[in-house]
A and B are shown apart, each in its own frame.
Chain A
């Protein structure tokens, strides 16, 4: 060091590198701080809900209907309603969104018309959810005569998350290298075979990510399902989807009235009795738990799909 480093040119290089690396260090610190802040807010929120709702977080709470007495009230109807709505939403949004995205990406010619569709799909993601609620009230509830049902709510939320699913799927489809498509085409595959055997399976990870983001948004949405007329106080469950006699599956539940977790929470928070606020906190913690569970399943699925794929 002492003898070699006397060269002034070398000294200048070292000083320059040191200065530039300083920015690296600064960015790392900023990034860490921002990340910790974001995580801390989430943790505090969640812990606060859990602590506040702790007295009510038990099995009875999950298996009781709403009640006029705070200590008897539970969220059975709400979490069953929310789960069923999510099933409908996922079953509608996934095939429709994926099909739309694959069509736009693989089949549609690139012209001004598809360009307009693209811009509109992206814009739809920014439309306030109450607008979807109003649309659904007119279309699903009255025009299609679905009434204030689980089907109507599921379809509404599916519409709401459709743009998210489409955009995420298109990104994932676009990420499949051209070389892979060419390899399949060169073996004599048709466009449908290339899509079904290669493009879709390889982009499943991205599609699932889009579904996670979409469903996480849908599960907490309150405005659109209030608009279509969710009840806030029900003491019955939808008809069971599995029946004792043939054909063992029933879809009557689709037409049943429902309530959902955010609505139940909203209802409790707006009551004067502070005991209900404990219920609201417990319901909030449960809703977050449901979201985490749903995301966990999706992340596990995505991991399984991506394990083999590594361009």
Chain B
């Protein structure tokens, strides 16, 4: 079981590698099946995505592409639906009763519709990791926090788990701080360390895509800078989708930015262009601080 999972992950990352191009920042082609116009391949595509909380429509007809191994930021004022959109990708809404998806979110290269009824949300969450707004380590040891995803996947070999945990902690740039206290509680760490622990926990299972829901909104500026640095580095190996309230953060860490307003996608472009030369008035008003 354990080895199978790893093989699948390796195959998946090999496949990702095969059609991921450079990192040129070309304007996103709106149509075309793979749309590899010299840029990165498409990792996920939302088409006609509607989302409902009971009778309230929170997302309205979203069409958007997420580039493979690029950082895509979602910005917009409070209540615009950016977190709701993010949580569609790992079916977090399935945990809330009376919610409903319409449309599709296809994940490539295998072209599976993440929000289809017959796709198991657990399978989706095993492929797409998530880091939350408030650091939420389990009240277990640092080691067990990172090992948990591996254990859920049926990994039993102690040596293998130790190896993967160390790797994940290194990737999350927290190994040096915790290597001597792996058996301390995850809650004994500072807020910024806890958040990096949560990133390590999400990375341990080798996800294809990582969702960040305002990951630094509860952190101080120094801890924030470290997380941002980390996100930039993660771009090498995983597709990142990040919701942020902070426009400077979006400008610093992301390759692509989507501006959302009242449940709609207003504008989506290469980050540098969206911030310097927005195509829509609403975007310009928001990024110049006229509202939000």
Contact = CB atoms under 8 A, between A and B. Distances in A.
A181 B132 CA distance: 12
Contacts of B202: 186-187
A189 B121 CA distance: 10
A188 interface: yes
A95 B140 CA distance: 24
Nearest to A181: B95
Nearest to A189: B152
B129 A186 contact: yes
A202 B136 contact: no
12 contacts: A182-B136, A183-B137, A183-B201, A184-B138, A186-B90, A186-B125, A187-B129, A187-B149, A187-B201, A188-B123, A189-B122, A308-B140
A109 B97 contact: yes
B279 interface: no
B90 A308 contact: no
A110 B97 contact: yes
A309 B140 CA distance: 8
Give 7 closest A-B pairs by Cβ, nearest first. A188-B126, A179-B136, A186-B130, A309-B139, A187-B149, A188-B125, A183-B136
A183 B97 contact: no
With most chain A CB atoms within 10 A of its CB, the pick from B134, B148, B202 is B148
Contacts of A189: 122, 148, 152
B205 interface: yes
Interface in B146-197: 148-149, 152-153, 185, 187
A26 B7 CA distance: 69
A43 to B, nearest CB: 37
Interface stretch (A76-84, A190-198, A254-262): A190-198
A102 to B, nearest CB: 16
Nearest to B144: A197
A187 B139 contact: no
| Interface residue range, chain B | 20 to 34
A182 B132 contact: yes
| Interface residue range, chain A | 20 to 34
A310 B129 CA distance: 25
B234 interface: no
B169 to A, nearest CB: 16
Nearest to A306: B139
Given A110-B97, A186-B202, A187-B126, 7 more contacts: A182-B136, A184-B138, A187-B148, A187-B152, A187-B201, A188-B126, A189-B148
B12 interface: no
A181 B152 CA distance: 14
A185 interface: yes
Contacts of B123: 188
Nearest to B121: A185
A39 interface: no
A185 B137 CA distance: 13
A17 B219 CA distance: 35
B152 A193 contact: yes
A187 B205 contact: yes
A310 B152 contact: no
Interface of A: 109-110, 177, 179-190, 193, 197-198, 202, 308-311
A171 B139 CA distance: 19
Contacts of B149: 187-188
B227 interface: no
A308 B137 CA distance: 12
Interface string B80-100: 000000000010100101000
A3 B77 CA distance: 52
B92 A202 contact: no
Nearest to A111: B97
Given A189-B152, A190-B122, A177 B136 contact: yes
Contacts of A184: 138, 148
B115 interface: no
A185 B92 contact: yes
Contacts of A182: 92, 95, 132, 136
Contacts of B122: 188-190
Given A109-B97, A183-B132, A310-B187, A188 B138 contact: no
Nearest to B139: A309
A33 B97 CA distance: 49
Contacts of B201: 183, 187
Contacts of A202: 139
A272 to B, nearest CB: 59
A125 B220 CA distance: 48
Contacts of A198: 138
A1 B251 CA distance: 55
Contacts of A185: 92, 95, 125
B231 interface: no
B132 A179 contact: yes
A310 B136 contact: no
A183 B126 contact: no
